[in-house]
């Protein structure tokens, strides 16, 4: 999980304060569509599984909690 | 959707639209009869020019045998054509939303040709993938709701994305059309696409320039700067999509995710990326968005 937070911080160096589990990463623009592909690559690396983006929606990536639940929980 | 009635289409733009329509009519061809589509394509030849492969110049390239490079060239060409097919679908949706709507009266006659030609491009690239590889790679992008902005900014971004995508794709098409070492069918799809895209890129450049003037009139320098950053991110996204985990996996490369990360990070790629994006960066410098 720390890897995800580190990645978000690397993309948003001006960000101060904590990123909570329920922070809306989309509305707050912490994850943007232009960096999404890189983010998916990170999730695949962490989970060891390929992600089929076509079967997912923005809601699946909205918070750290949702990301954890959808992609990382089984290996966490 | 987008209220664009304030866009000032210049006389020069209107004349360019007329000229491009004339060329489109004169160059019109039946794509369904243009290609030979042989049963198979030489399995032992490269399907993509060696210098266009994503591994070119990297340390990882040296670890691959000639057979692995041939296999990779097959799947990277499928990746490129899949990206083009998906990109065309998205751009057609945006042009369809605007054709015959208020504000677009001047470019609309050319939109008809653009839509027709792009549909045909999508067909022949998809046909190539399905015939010779049995699949099209899925689109891994996602559009976020926060990408929506003020109408004139949105118009500028949408047509910029179309132009950027076409310019980068054309870099590959032009080189592959001219590469006499590639199989004829590969060269043919790239040649035809390159010919049509030269018109679309000429049109896109004039359209984006007009839309940018509108953005500059209606937005603060800070907002203009921010959209410049956004488009730099989009260029980077297109470049990243050329490094396909699916292609590495289908080419039989072990641990494709790690391989992809290593290839992207290889310092040999930076000057190659600079060449691929040179035309786009020059365009945005010329119109005053990039510095």
Gap between the Cα atoms of A35 and B143, Å rounded: 11
Q: Could you give phi then psi for residue B124, rounded to 5 degrees?
A: -75, -30
Q: What is the pLDDT of residues B254-279, one digit of tens each?
A: 989 889 989 999 999 999 999 999 99
Say what the pLDDT of residue B145 is: 77
pLDDT bin (cut points 50, 70, 90) of residue A49 is confident
> Do A41 and B237 count as a contact with CB atoms less than 8 A apart?
no
Q: What is the pLDDT of residues B67-118, one digit of tens each?
A: 999 999 999 999 999 999 999 999 999 999 999 999 999 999 999 999 999 9
Residue A33 has its nearest CB partner, among B147, B241, B257, at B147
Residue A40 has its nearest CB partner, among B140, B143, B261, at B140
Going by C-alpha positions, the residue among B74, B66, B79, B61 that lies closest to residue B268 is B61
Q: What is the pLDDT of residues B150-182, one digit of tens each?
A: 989 999 999 999 999 999 999 999 999 999 999
ipTM of the complex: 0.81
Q: What domains does chain B contain, in order, with CATH numbers?
A: 45-286 (1.10.620.20)
> Do A38 and B240 count as a contact with CB atoms less than 8 A apart?
yes
Picking from A12, A34, A36 by the largest number of B CB atoms within 10 A of its own CB, the best residue to mutate is A34
Chain B residues 138-177 with CB within 8 Å of chain A: 138-147
> Do A53 and B240 count as a contact with CB atoms less than 8 A apart?
no
pTM: 0.91
- Which residues of B fall within a CB distance of 8 Å from A31? 144
Gap between the Cα atoms of A7 and A18, Å rounded: 14
Q: What domains does chain A contain, in order, with CATH numbers?
A: 2-13+20-75 (1.10.1200.10)
User: Over 50: is that where the pLDDT of B16 sits?
Assistant: yes
User: Over 90: is that where the pLDDT of A76 sits?
Assistant: no
* Residues whose CB is less than 8 angstroms from the CB of residue B282 and which lie 6 or more positions away in sequence, other chains included: none
B90 close to A (CB below 8 A)? no
B254 close to A (CB below 8 A)? no
Residue B146 has its nearest CB partner, among A26, A50, A54, at A26
- What would the mean pLDDT of B10-20 be, rounded to a whole number? 93
Q: Name the closest residue on chain A to residue B260, using Cα atoms.
A: A41
> Do A53 and B147 count as a contact with CB atoms less than 8 A apart?
no
Say what the pLDDT of residue B161 is: 94
Q: Name the closest residue on chain A to residue B257, using Cα atoms.
A: A45
Contact B259, B253 (CB under 8 A): yes
> Do A32 and B233 count as a contact with CB atoms less than 8 A apart?
yes
Say what the pLDDT of residue B55 is: 98
Q: What is the pLDDT of residues B232-260, one digit of tens each?
A: 999 999 999 999 999 999 999 998 988 99
> Do A37 and B140 count as a contact with CB atoms less than 8 A apart?
yes
Say what the pLDDT of residue B257 is: 83
- Which residues of B fall within a CB distance of 8 Å from A50? 245
Shortest distance, CA B188 to any CA of chain A (angstroms) = 31
Say what the pLDDT of residue B25 is: 96
> Do B144 and A40 count as a contact with CB atoms less than 8 A apart?
no
> Do A33 and B258 count as a contact with CB atoms less than 8 A apart?
no
> Do A33 and B241 count as a contact with CB atoms less than 8 A apart?
no
> Do B261 and A33 count as a contact with CB atoms less than 8 A apart?
no
pLDDT bin (cut points 50, 70, 90) of residue A34 is confident
Average pLDDT, chain B: 94
What percent of chain A lies above the pLDDT cut of 70? 96
Q: What is the pLDDT of residues B115-145, one digit of tens each?
A: 999 999 999 999 999 999 999 999 988 888 7
Residue B144 has its nearest CB partner, among A26, A50, A52, at A26
């Amino acid at each position: 999980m720390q890897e995800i937070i580190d990645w978000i911080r690397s993309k948003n160096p001006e960000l101060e304060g904590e990123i909570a589990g329920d922070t809306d990463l989309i509305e707050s623009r912490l994850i943007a569509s232009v960096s999404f592909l890189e983010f998916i690559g990170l999730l695949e690396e962490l989970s060891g599984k390929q992600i089929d983006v076509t079967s997912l929606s923005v809601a699946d990536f909205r918070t750290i909690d949702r990301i954890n639940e959808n992609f990382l929980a089984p290996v966490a | 959707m987008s209220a664009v009635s304030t866009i000032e289409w210049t006389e020069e733009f209107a004349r360019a639209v007329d000229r491009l329509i004339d060329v489109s009519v004169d160059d019109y061809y039946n794509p369904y009869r243009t290609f030979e589509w042989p049963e198979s394509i030489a399995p032992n030849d490269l399907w993509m020019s060696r210098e266009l492969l994503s591994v070119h110049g990297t340390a990882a390239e040296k670890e691959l045998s000639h057979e692995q490079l041939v296999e990779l060239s097959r799947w990277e060409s499928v990746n490129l054509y899949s990206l083009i097919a998906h990109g065309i679908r998205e751009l057609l949706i945006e042009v369809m939303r605007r054709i015959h709507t208020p504000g677009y009266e001047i470019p609309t006659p050319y939109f008809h040709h653009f839509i027709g030609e792009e549909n045909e491009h999508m067909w022949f690239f998809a046909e190539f993938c399905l015939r010779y590889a049995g699949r099209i790679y899925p689109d891994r992008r996602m559009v976020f709701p926060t990408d929506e902005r003020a109408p004139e900014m949105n118009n500028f971004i949408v047509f910029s994305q179309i132009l950027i995508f076409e310019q980068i794709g054309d870099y590959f098409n032009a080189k592959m059309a001219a590469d006499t070492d590639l199989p004829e069918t590969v060269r043919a799809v790239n040649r035809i696409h390159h010919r049509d895209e030269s018109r679309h890129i000429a049109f896109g450049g004039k359209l984006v320039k007009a839309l940018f003037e509108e953005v500059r009139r209606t937005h603060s320098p800070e907002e203009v700067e921010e959209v410049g950053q956004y488009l730099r991110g989009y260029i980077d996204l297109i470049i990243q999509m050329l490094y396909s985990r699916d292609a590495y996996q289908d080419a039989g490369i072990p641990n494709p995710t790690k391989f992809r990360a290593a290839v992207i990070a290889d310092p040999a790629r930076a000057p190659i990326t600079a060449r691929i994006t040179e035309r786009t960066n020059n365009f945005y410098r010329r119109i005053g968005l990039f510095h």
